[in-house]
Amino acid sequence: MPDVVIADTSCFIILSNINELDLLLKVYGRIITTHDIVKEFGETLPEWIIVKSPIDYQKQQILELQVDKGEASAIALALEIPHSMVIIDDLQARCLAENLGISITGTIGVIIKAKLNGIIPSIKPILGKIKQTNFRLSSAVEEIALKQAGE
């Protein structure tokens, strides 16, 4: 497991919209995010989420040429913190992070981990709630997630 988990905006939005934000705490214990992500999210986050921004703002600005400000800040922060992982859903941002050697997962990965760790009994109800939101969850991704969760 990574030493530090950095969450992007989409993870907060999705889990907040389905009233499952506490899964982050239950799965990882400690979550870090950036000031830019807090601003994008636009709501008050729980006090167990630590807000920290990257020191090298120039690096973030370069990353912003390829991904949005929140994603760039999360990736820039991950580059500064050894053994960190970013929870990120956007495909382009995921590819960029991976190319930079950053460990990643997505919101669905968090839910699968919650099931595998015995925190939730099944991912199906949570996937059902996600499908009621505007988050795009393809049937192929849903099928893979169910298989990985052993359902």
pLDDT tens digits along 7-53:
999 999 999 999 999 999 999 999 999 999 999 999 999 999 999 99
pLDDT tens digits along 86-129:
999 999 999 999 999 999 999 999 999 999 999 999 999 999 99
Instruction: Report the C-alpha gap between 144 and 95 in whole angstroms.
Output: 19
pTM beyond 0.85: the answer is yes
Least confident of 60-64, 96-100, 133-137: 133-137
Q: Is 29 left (phi over 0), alpha (psi -120 to 50) or beta?
A: left
Residue 138: the pLDDT is 87
Residue 1: the pLDDT is 65
Least confident of 68-82, 94-108, 123-137: 123-137
Residue 134: the pLDDT is 84
